[in-house]
Amino acid sequence: MLTIKILGSGCENCKKLAYLAERAVIHLGVEAEIIKVTDYKDIMAYNIMSTPGLVINEKLVSAGRIPSQDEIAVLITTELEKV
């Protein structure tokens, strides 16, 4: 089971990233839980300085930018292969 976290206070870019992550998950046909982390205390635990952040299985994979749907798919498969 994959856990994907979107770090961000609910700004436009965070919503865009959440949408793309959802699309990537559906496209790959994997089972995943997408959690939006909006509390700054929790966001800062990942030591990011610009939002949105993308966390896959507790690993920060991008911050301060919106990766494309394809890139998110690649990031997800890389994490899945590790398991």
Least gap, CB of 18 to other proteins (angstroms)? 14
Whichever of 30 and 63 has its CB closer to other proteins, that residue is 63
Least Å distance, CB 70 to other proteins, is 12
Nearer to other proteins, 26 or 45 (CB): 45
Backbone angles phi, psi at 63, to 5 degrees: -150, 140
- Residues with Cβ within 8 Å of residue 10, at least 6 apart in sequence: 36, 38
**Tokens coding 20:** 């793309």
Place of tokens 């990766």: 67
Closest to other proteins by CB, 10 or 26? 10
Measure the CA–CA gap between 11 and 7, rounded to whole angstroms: 10
Q: Which of 14, 20, 73, 76 is catalytic?
A: 14
Residues taking part in catalysis:
11, 14
